[in-house]
Amino acid sequence: MTLRRGTIAALTALVLSVGLALPVLVVAQGLAVQRVAIERLYPRVRWINTPTVARWLDGPEASRPVLLDAREADEFAVSHLARARRIDPDTTSFDDLDLGPGARIVVYCSIGWRSGAIADRLREAGYSDVYNLEGGIFKWANEDRELRRAGPRGRASEDADKVHPYDAVWGRMLDPDRRAPLP
């Protein structure tokens, strides 16, 4: 059976239009709709909003959560939340974290997909007070909250104002003045 040129052209146009429209749909959905999709994949993961995390971080040292940044090293190098520790988003072992099972842990990534996976694995590993940061570092930055980056040559961290956009599509969820250029 052979396809006619018109049918092939129509199929090609359809594939191209879907491929070109997908990035627009992802951005148009925004962070709130992404949360719904992430919750479906990780239904047992608890979420925490940015004002609550900011309040916890401003509180007494003993009540501050452990912040785990579940992004790649190059993303973390551009900026991260103050006092955050980077964790490989693909890790399945948490022994090197040196945390008690009752530690309060907030995991974040760009918008919540990778951190949702880590939060779910932490919960399965026995950590009971684990949260996924709603909207991730993108929402945190868009709300003009504090960002840090490692200082030059291993010096103390310094203020940062840009966030690694992950890629050209997802980065559109960052305010333009918060979006670092892609390498």
Q: Of 38-47, 54-63, 69-78, 134-143, where does mean pLDDT reach its minimum? A: 54-63
pLDDT of residue 31: 78
User: If we measure between CA atoms, which residue out of 182, 107, 111 comes closest to residue 140?
Assistant: 111
Q: Of 26-35, 36-45, 73-82, 127-136, where does mean pLDDT reach its minimum? A: 26-35
- 62: pLDDT strictly greater than 90: no
Q: Is the dihedral of CA 182, 173, 52, 114 positive or negative?
A: negative
> Is 15 a member of any domain?
no
* Domain housing 102: 37-178
> Is 26 a member of any domain?
no
pLDDT of residue 32: 81
pLDDT of residue 10: 52
DSSP 89: T
104 strand-pairing partners: 129
pLDDT of residue 101: 75
> Is 111 a member of any domain?
yes
Question: Going by DSSP bridges, is the β-strand pair 66-69/104-108 parallel, antiparallel, or unpaired?
Answer: parallel
Higher-confidence position of 31 and 45: 45
Q: Please, are residues 150 and 85 in contact by the beta-carbon 8 Å criterion?
A: no
The C-alpha torsion from 94 through 100 and 101 to 107, rounded to 10°, is: -60
> Is 119 a member of any domain?
yes
CATH code: domain of residue 71: 3.40.250.10
Q: Which residue reads 């997802």 in tokens? A: 170
User: If we measure between CA atoms, which residue out of 103, 107, 113 comes closest to residue 42?
Assistant: 113
Band of residue 16 on the pLDDT scale cut at 50, 70, 90: very low
Q: How far apart are CA 81 and CA 66, in angstroms?
A: 11
Q: How far apart are CA 10 and CA 16, in angstroms?
A: 10
> Is 20 a member of any domain?
no
> Is 10 a member of any domain?
no
Work out how many domains the chain is built from and give that number.
Answer: 1
Each as own residue / partner, the long-range contacts of residues 84-91 (CB below 8 Å, 24 or more positions apart, any chain) are: 84/108, 84/148, 87/118, 89/114, 89/115, 89/117, 89/118, 91/118, 91/121
> Is 79 a member of any domain?
yes
> Is 19 a member of any domain?
no
DSSP 110: S
Amino acid at 182: L
